[in-house]
Amino acid sequence: MTNNPFDFSSSFMNYDPQAFFKQIQSGFSAYQIPNLDTAALVESQKKNVDALITANQAALTGAQELLKQQGEMLQQAMTDAAEAATSLAGSSNPMELAEKQKKLVQAAFEKALTNSTEISELVKKNQDEISNLVNQRVSESLQEIKESISKLG
């Protein structure tokens, strides 16, 4: 077991999807609704759970990628700061020092903007992926409901 506070896998160790779906199916079996295809209803719920799992996996992957990217950016920022300190320490002329500081501040600002853009694009990409997964399943589910209703009548 790891000490990672973001590792929720242990929460799902005792989850048995088959037992969950058997419980749902037995619940539907207790009510005898004419022409209701309980197997199709249970299958639809399985697909919903699968879509939820896939969306959560995509969110986790996106979060891991984001943390990795931020870690790399932080490491680069620390390296840049050390190089800047070394560069500034070697300047004895006040005009030269001011010019170096101006260039360093400008470079740091530009790097911050670039990093911010990269982070925003990474988050947007992940959100789009998750939204597409959920939207696809909602559309499929609505179609399944429509088909089930047409069989009832």
Tens digits of residue pLDDT in 2-27:
577 667 666 666 667 677 767 776 77
pTM over 0.75: no
Residues in the chain: 153
Write the pLDDT tens digit of every residue in 27-54: 766 666 667 777 787 788 889 989 999 9
pLDDT score of 41: 79
